[in-house]
Structure 1
Amino acid sequence: MNLHDWIDELCDVLDVEIDVDESLILDLAREAAHNVERPAAPISTFLLGYAVARADGDPEELDRLAAAATELAIRWDKSADEVEHEDDDPEVEEELASVEA
């Protein structure tokens, strides 16, 4: 048995029909485990799955949410000053301002 077989069998047991992008999920798990702490990997992937389910399993939303979660994990171990000056994206700045208010 290999990972693909496991995924197929698990989908059968859970009664779900979905094409799983293993690399997307594993990338998030890796970044969460390395930059946050090991238990963050399964919790992060669970929460990603939950969020995507709330979006009716939309593949584009999966990509967007996975990228956002992975990006958060990548910058997690940086200091607040590094994160603050790292991104000049106006949308990010606006979101940060609304959170800080």
Structure 2
Amino acid sequence: MFEDWLTEVAATTGRPELNLSTDQQKLVLDLAREAAHGVARPAAPLTTFLAGYALGAEGGLDRLAALVEDLGAAARARAPKDEQ
């Protein structure tokens, strides 16, 4: 069901080429977790949205891993020290 949903989202947005691989899905979900725990829960969807927006403007999915690492590090740096 999850995979079908992601395929439908990609098609509905008119960008079927953006159907994420399993590895790419994990990267985005990990970023959401980092933002939720390191910053605040509402930061998760907004961070992933902004990451996607930036990827669309700056080269697409080939930059996903690097961008997720940078944003995840920033979120981890904000986390209270007892949560790290």
Q: RMSD of aligned C-alpha atoms?
A: 1.4
CA pair 78-34 structure 1, distance change in 2 beyond 3 A: closer
1:76 aligns to what?
78
CA deviation after TM superposition for structure 1 residue 44, in Å: 0.4
Gaps of 5+ in 2: none
Q: Counting helix residues as a fraction of each chain, which structure ranks higher?
A: 2
Could you tell me which of 35, 38, 43 is aligned with 1:40? 43
1:82 aligns to what?
none
% same residue: 39
What's the TM-score, normalizing by structure 2?
A: 0.82
Gaps of 5+ in 1: 80-101
Give runs of aligned pairs for residues 54-93 of structure 1, distance below 5 A.
Answer: 54-59=57-62, 61-78=63-80
Matched, 1:14 2:13: yes
CA deviation after TM superposition for structure 1 residue 40, in Å: 0.2
What's the TM-score, normalizing by structure 1?
A: 0.70
CA deviation after TM superposition for structure 1 residue 56, in Å: 2.5
Which structure is higher in RCO with an 8 Å CA cutoff and minimum separation 6?
2
